[in-house]
Each structure stands twice: as structure tokens, then as C-alpha cells.
């Protein structure tokens, strides 16, 4: 079944104490006024083990923002999918444009990460999206197609069915420039058609496709109103409990 989801991506923000506080605030707001959608909070690795016991993950799921492309061993500084899972976290963002751009994560590396996440029962939130030059050249469809083919379309239908997709136009991330609801719908529908071509209509219908990029309480409702936009992946606005809850409430 396709799920409506609002997921936060804290990026490299909040120390441990601040992170614990923020999760408690989000939980209090969701306890007071039940969300009408799935809620996921993705935090830096170091927060995971401290915040998973604070929430009922059937209501507020916890996820990492990355995991290693290797199972275990001499990879100083890396954190494996199995370590993430051992904290109780259920999700893992993979393929975020910041990881692709600043840490040179290729389609091939991301393919490994997706497989390791799935093998450890983590649900990948897999990000795709074009940069500004590609949008200006009207190449966004080719770009997302190559990203899906390069890292996900090797999966079985069963495994693909576990993935949450996030379309995040890089020109909209952290810039205040949001894709219009029409732009988002066009490409989300295109992404769903690619999934249908590869895995069939049922898998495509069931696939959750989030929009990310300067999504905030003031624009979430019109974005989520589009038939192929199943929620949001939220950066900046997920760092304040009230703003994050404002976006969650866009589903009401
Ligand atoms: P933003 O980030 O909401 O701050 O634009 C979204 C993301 O990068 O996931």
C-alpha cells in the first residue's frame, strides 16, 4: 500500500542533547494531535541509539542519513548498515545529493549501500533529482531515470517494493526555491511510470514518492495535494518541532 509520509533529514545539525530534546518535542506534538501520515525522523548516527527508545516507531520512525557501502572491517570512520539497525533505527536515507556531490557517492556505491541496508532490514529512503543546469536543459527526466537504473532497478520487485523514493531537485534544496506543485507532479508521475515499466502497475501504485527541497508549512499542502506526491523529505524545516508538525499537518 502506498503510504503518506513526512520524513525529516537533520543533516549535520544538533548535538546529542539538542537532538534528544527535538525528538521529545516532536513526540509531544504528535501525542497531543495524532498525525494523519507516517512520520520519520532521520538523525546523525550518534543520536540513533539515544532516540529510538524515546518513541513508538509505529508512529515516529527513526532513521540514519547514510550507511557504509561495506559490511564490516577496516574502514575507519564508517558506520555499517548492521550497526545502524542495532540501534533500533528502521530507515536509512541513501543517495542524498549532498552525499553524491561532496562525498563522491556513485550509482555503483549506492547500489551496494541499498543492498546492505535491505539485508539489515532497514528501509532505504532513496533520493534522486537533477541539478539546476540539468533542469535548465530540460534533462530532469533522463537524470532521474539514470539514477533509478544505476542503483535500484537491479532489485527484485519484492525488494524494490520496500524502498521509499524521494525526488529532490538539487536546485530546491536549502535554497528557498521550491519546485511548483505542477513541476513536482510532472516528474513524480514520470518516476512512477518508470517504476511501472520496470516492475508493473501494482508496484508503481504502491511506491511512496516523497518531494524534497525547501518544503515548509506554507507550501506543503499544495505539494501534497498532487496525486503522485506522497509526502515530503524535509531538511531545514525539520529542525524546529513546530515547523515539522506544521508540515505533518498538511495531510489533515
Ligand atoms: P531542505 O532540504 O528542506 O532544507 O531544502 C531537503 C533535503 O535536502 O532533504
Q: What is the pLDDT of residues 157-179, one digit of tens each?
A: 999 999 999 999 999 999 988 99
Ligand 1 atom at minimal distance to the Cα of residue 212: 6
The whole-number pLDDT of residue 78 equals 98
What percent of the chain has pLDDT above 70? 100
Active-site residue (options: 65, 112, 130, 168): 168
Which whole-number Å values give the CA distances from 169 to 153, 173, 187, in the listed order? Answer: 20, 7, 10
Q: Chain-wide mean pLDDT for the chain?
A: 98
Mean pLDDT within 215-223? 97
State the first-to-last Cα distance of the chain, in angstroms, to the nearest integer.
Answer: 19
8 A C-beta contact, residue 81 and residue 67? yes
- CA distance linking residue 142 with residue 134, whole number of Å: 9
- What pTM was computed for the model? 0.98
96 is an active site residue: yes
Residue 237 scores a pLDDT above 90: yes
The whole-number pLDDT of residue 1 equals 81
Active-site residue (options: 96, 112, 134, 185): 96
8 A C-beta contact, residue 33 and residue 78? no
> Who lines ligand 1 at CB under 6 A?
9, 168, 173-174, 212-215, 233-237
Tell the residue nearest (CA) to atom 2 of ligand 1: 235
Dihedral Cα 177, 226, 217, 101, nearest 10 deg: -40
Ligand 1 atom at minimal distance to the Cα of residue 213: 5
Read off the pLDDT of residues 6-62 as tens digits, 9 standing for 90 and up.
Answer: 999 999 999 999 999 999 999 999 999 999 999 999 999 999 999 999 999 999 999
Would you tell me how many other CB atoms lie within 10 Å of the CB of residue 58? 8
SS (H, E, C) 123-168: EEEEEECCCHHHHHCCCHHHHHHHHHHHHCCCCCHHHHCCCEEEEC
| Three-state DSSP state, 90 | coil
Ligand 1 atom at minimal distance to the Cα of residue 97: 8
Amino acid at each position: 500500500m502506498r503510504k503518506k509520509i513526512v520524513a525529516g533529514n537533520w543533516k549535520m545539525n544538533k548535538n546529542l542533547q539538542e537532538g534528544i530534546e527535538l525528538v521529545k518535542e516532536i513526540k509531544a506534538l504528535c501525542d497531543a494531535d495524532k498525525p494523519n501520515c507516517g512520520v520519520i525522523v532521520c538523525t546523525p548516527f550518534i543520536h540513533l541509539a539515544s532516540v529510538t527508545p524515546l518513541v513508538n516507531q509505529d508512529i515516529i520512525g527513526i532513521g540514519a542519513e547514510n550507511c557504509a557501502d561495506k559490511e564490516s572491517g577496516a574502514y575507519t570512520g564508517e558506520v555499517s548498515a548492521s550497526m545502524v539497525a542495532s540501534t533500533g533505527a528502521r530507515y536509512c536515507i541513501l543517495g542524498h545529493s549532498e552525499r553524491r556531490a561532496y562525498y563522491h557517492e556513485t550509482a555503483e556505491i549506492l547500489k551496494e549501500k541499498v543492498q546492505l541496508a535491505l539485508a539489515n532490514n532497514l528501509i532505504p529512503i532513496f533520493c534522486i533529482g537533477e541539478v539546476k543546469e540539468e533542469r535548465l536543459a530540460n534533462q530532469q527526466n533522463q537524470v532521474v531515470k539514470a539514477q533509478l537504473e544505476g542503483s535500484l532497478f537491479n532489485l527484485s520487485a519484492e525488494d524494490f517494493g520496500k524502498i521509499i523514493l524521494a525526488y529532490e531537485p538539487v536546485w530546491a534544496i536549502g535554497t528557498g526555491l521550491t519546485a511548483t506543485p505542477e513541476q513536482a507532479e510532472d516528474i513524480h508521475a514520470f518516476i512512477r511510470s518508470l517504476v511501472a515499466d520496470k516492475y508493473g502497475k501494482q508496484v508503481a501504485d504502491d511506491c511512496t514518492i516523497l518531494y524534497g527541497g525547501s518544503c515548509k508549512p506554507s507550501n506543503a499542502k499544495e505539494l501534497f495535494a498532487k496525486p503522485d506526491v506522497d509526502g515530503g523529505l524535509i531538511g531545514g524545516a525539520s529542525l524546529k518541532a513546530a515547523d515539522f508538525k506544521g508540515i505533518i499537518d498538511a495531510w489533515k
